[in-house]
Amino acid sequence: MIAACHVNHGDGCSRCPDALVETSFSHATRAADLIAMAEEPADLLVVGAGVTGAGVARDAAMRGIRTALIDKGDFGSGTSGRSSRLIHGGLRYLELGNWHLVLEASRERRTLLRIAPHLVWPRSFIFPVHAGGRVPRWKLAAGLWLYDILALLRNVRSHRMLGKRSLLRTEPALREHGLRGGARYFDAQCNDGRLALGNARDARRHGAQVANYVRVDRFALSDGQVRGVHATDVLSGATLTIRALTVVNATGPWSDGLRAQLGDPPVLRRTKGAHVAVPRERVGNREAITITSPIDGRVMFILPWGDLAYIGTTDTDSDASPDDVWVTAEDVIYLLRSANAYFPDARLGPADVRSTWAGLRSLLATADASDPGRVSREHRVLVGAGGLVSVVGGKLTTYRSMAAETVDLVARRLHALDGRPTPPRALTDREPLPGGEVRDLELLIGELEREGTARQVAERLVRTYGAEAAAVARVARAEPALGRPIAEGHPSVRAELLHATRREMAMTLCDLLIRRTQVFYEADRHGLPEAPALVDLAAEELGWSAQRKAKELADYLAMVDRSLGFRLGIPARAPDVSPP
Ligand SMILES: Cc1cc2nc3c(=O)[nH]c(=O)nc-3n(C[C@H](O)[C@H](O)[C@H](O)COP(=O)(O)OP(=O)(O)OC[C@H]3O[C@@H](n4cnc5c(N)ncnc54)[C@H](O)[C@@H]3O)c2cc1C
């Protein structure tokens, strides 16, 4: 829908060239959808708009099922925005004999590279082998052959074993002592939070009603069957009842909590995973590096992210609330010690850490209470008390196939309820996600450059927004104030904030700076010096009062403090982050 400038910037408004005036996913559509949800029952209500719930809503809407999607926070603000950002076959699962999962994940990796080339991109990994390491060279070679075969020989590229010399030519900063060689293999990296957002947007494009910041308080029951929810609009405090013939619980690590309301037993084992981001030049890695931690032999990664490298992850059992998961001093020391063992000259210390994030994995609990790293990453679709459908476990990588399986079950239940025909499976693996209509990112970057956008900005815009980058770039060029960086030294531009409020339903400053633009993780000072000006810009779009602006600033500051709060737990004397 193309509308007139909806924020009254006046005639000839340079902020609103046609492409940006489309208000298809914004505070305005949220308000309209909430009214519609309260008025008319849906066939399906999906609770939780992480990648799983958003994927379920997209799939169901594409099959013509009348669908509503809500989340108590922002899209991807749960686990789906705190992952290791890998779309991977799962080399590690081979050791566990979980070939079926590798086969499925490899197929999904291929699909996501195709339908969202701006959000999922190929990444080459170096796996070094040192004397005495947990994975010897022969085992790595055998594993990588199998890995490529399970990708049906259609991985990005096939792996290659490397001798010590060529490995050091590739990664000169790696520890040479004891190095026996290694391998290069391929997987993919992604912008995890934006993958959830892209699915939610596309769900609405196919007819779903979608609202973030709507919390389910309890289920609405009729004859013992779940027929909707009583919920609260977290932003306004208003309560509402949303009726639906079927309800899917896609709340990741919160799932057991909702199931418990109906008397269902827990099915999850939750483990915490932490990451730290440091300037990449401090580490010295050129490609992604797969390591086995010398502390406990766990597989970990050091991953490039622009001029940063992030190191992760830990895997420890946790009974923390999923609302309150942060990186501790202990996590930081473990991650830095492990990285320092492979890049000894880096001598990374806590002061190098620019940002951190942590999430809870929701793994299927098994009788075997062994090492968390060995617990299966498979998923299950369960029907619980009152007919509540829960989709639990799984991975970011396999969200699309999990969603298809969940919607198959929903379609069967709707058929059983009112005899309607079961729709055919949706082509979620064919239709691109928003912005994914672009085939050649480099070509688009070149076009933006020719139109006057600086190379670094063009690259960022295309790799974030895909085919929609041109619209953002046009706004940035039309009004110099909107062409300025969101945070000094960061390649983002303020026009992105407009795009985020008008097309991506950003509702808070945290949405804008954490999940839409990643300034929180990437910018040297997290955009704090600029935050008052940014909140003014957002206030103009979203109609915030002075009091609301102060709250938004305080909330953002609190998030930055929590992300770097581990510093308070670091002992006064310099902690030992030297290799074990
Ligand atoms: C540290 C870590 C690293 C990982 N790395 C990878 C990786 O590299 N690759 C990979 O494939 N997988 C990875 N995973 C797994 C992957 O991130 C998860 O499987 C996936 O994100 C789960 O998505 P989800 O939508 O099921 O859950 P979530 O993303 O947690 O979404 C659940 C949503 O439910 C909402 N919610 C909760 N309660 C309510 C309520 N009462 N009302 C309304 N909404 C509610 C929450 O706000 C939340 O947004 C990793 C996981 C962790 C923890």
What digits encode the pLDDT tens for the residues 378-436?
899 999 999 999 999 999 999 999 999 999 999 999 999 999 999 999 999 999 999 99
Cα 78 to ligand 1 centroid, rounded to whole Å: 5
Q: Give the residues across from 364 on adjacent strands.
A: 268
What digits encode the pLDDT tens for the residues 345-386?
999 999 999 999 999 999 998 766 566 766 677 899 999 999
Token match 């990453």: residue? 377
What digits encode the pLDDT tens for the residues 58-86?
999 999 999 999 999 999 999 999 999 99
Is residue 295 scored above 70 in pLDDT?
yes
What residues flank ligand 1, with Cβ below 6 Å? 47-53, 70-73, 77-80, 82-86, 215-216, 250-254, 273, 313, 359-361, 394-397
CB atoms within 10 A of CB 326: 16
Q: Are strands 42-47 and 288-292 parallel, antiparallel or unpaired?
A: unpaired
pLDDT of residue 94: 87
CA atoms within 13 A on the CB side of 229: 29
Q: Which atom of ligand 1 is nearest to the CA of 215?
A: 42
Cα 101 to ligand 1 centroid, rounded to whole Å: 18
Cα 396 to ligand 1 centroid, rounded to whole Å: 8
CA atoms within 13 A on the CB side of 208: 31
Task: Specify the higher pLDDT residue, 309 or 576.
Answer: 309
Is residue 293 scored above 70 in pLDDT?
yes
Q: Which atom of ligand 1 is nearest to the CA of 394?
A: 19
Residue 176 CA to residue 343 CA, distance in Å, equals 9
Residue 543 CA to residue 530 CA, distance in Å, equals 19
With beta carbons less than 8 A apart as the criterion, state whether 485 and 456 touch.
no
Mean pLDDT of the chain: 93
Is residue 500 scored above 60 in pLDDT?
yes
Phi, psi at residue 189, to the nearest 5°?
A: -120, 155
Is residue 15 scored above 50 in pLDDT?
no
> Residue 13 — very low, low, confident or very high, per pLDDT cuts 50/70/90?
very low
* Number of helices and strands in the chain (H, E): 22, 18
Q: Are strands 225-233 and 214-222 parallel, antiparallel or unpaired?
A: antiparallel
Percentage of the chain exceeding pLDDT 90: 87
Cα 326 to ligand 1 centroid, rounded to whole Å: 15
pLDDT of residue 575: 66
Percentage of the chain exceeding pLDDT 70: 93
Q: For the residues 97-101, what does the mean pLDDT come to? A: 88
Q: Are strands 179-190 and 160-162 parallel, antiparallel or unpaired?
A: antiparallel
Nearest CA to ligand 1 atom 48: 78
With beta carbons less than 8 A apart as the criterion, state whether 124 and 184 touch.
yes
CA atoms within 13 A on the CB side of 17: 13
What digits encode the pLDDT tens for the residues 473-482?
999 999 999 9
pLDDT of residue 369: 56
> Residue 486 — very low, low, confident or very high, per pLDDT cuts 50/70/90?
very high
Longest Cα–Cα distance of the chain, Å, equals 71
Nearest CA to ligand 1 atom 49: 78
Cα 392 to ligand 1 centroid, rounded to whole Å: 10
Residue 358 CA to residue 79 CA, distance in Å, equals 8
Instruction: Give the number of residues written for the chain.
Output: 580
Nearest CA to ligand 1 atom 9: 86
pLDDT of residue 96: 81
Cα 384 to ligand 1 centroid, rounded to whole Å: 20
Is residue 123 scored above 70 in pLDDT?
yes
Q: For the residues 241-267, what does the mean pLDDT come to? A: 98
Q: For the residues 544-563, what does the mean pLDDT come to? A: 98
Substitution candidate for ligand 1 out of 72, 79, 300, 363 with most atoms within 8 A of CB: 79
Cα 241 to ligand 1 centroid, rounded to whole Å: 25
Q: For the residues 293-303, what does the mean pLDDT come to? A: 93
Cα 84 to ligand 1 centroid, rounded to whole Å: 12
pTM for this entry:
0.95
pLDDT of residue 124: 97
Phi, psi at residue 429, to the nearest 5°?
A: -90, 0
Q: For the residues 113-133, what does the mean pLDDT come to? A: 96
Residue 93 CA to residue 419 CA, distance in Å, equals 42
pLDDT of residue 170: 96
Question: For 450-459, which contacts have Cβ atoms below 8 Å and span 24 or more sequence positions?
Answer: 451/477, 452/477, 453/477, 456/491, 457/491, 457/493, 459/491
Q: For the residues 101-109, what does the mean pLDDT come to? A: 95
Nearest CA to ligand 1 atom 50: 83
> Residue 156 — very low, low, confident or very high, per pLDDT cuts 50/70/90?
confident
Q: Are strands 288-292 and 299-305 parallel, antiparallel or unpaired?
A: antiparallel
pLDDT of residue 7: 37
With beta carbons less than 8 A apart as the criterion, state whether 104 and 91 touch.
no
Q: Which atom of ligand 1 is nearest to the CA of 54?
A: 25
Nearest in space to 212 (alpha carbons), one of 202, 200, 230: 200
Cα 20 to ligand 1 centroid, rounded to whole Å: 30
With beta carbons less than 8 A apart as the criterion, state whether 147 and 125 touch.
no
Residue 332 CA to residue 573 CA, distance in Å, equals 15
Q: For the residues 244-258, what does the mean pLDDT come to? A: 98
pLDDT of residue 152: 84
Substitution candidate for ligand 1 out of 251, 314, 392, 515 with most atoms within 8 A of CB: 251
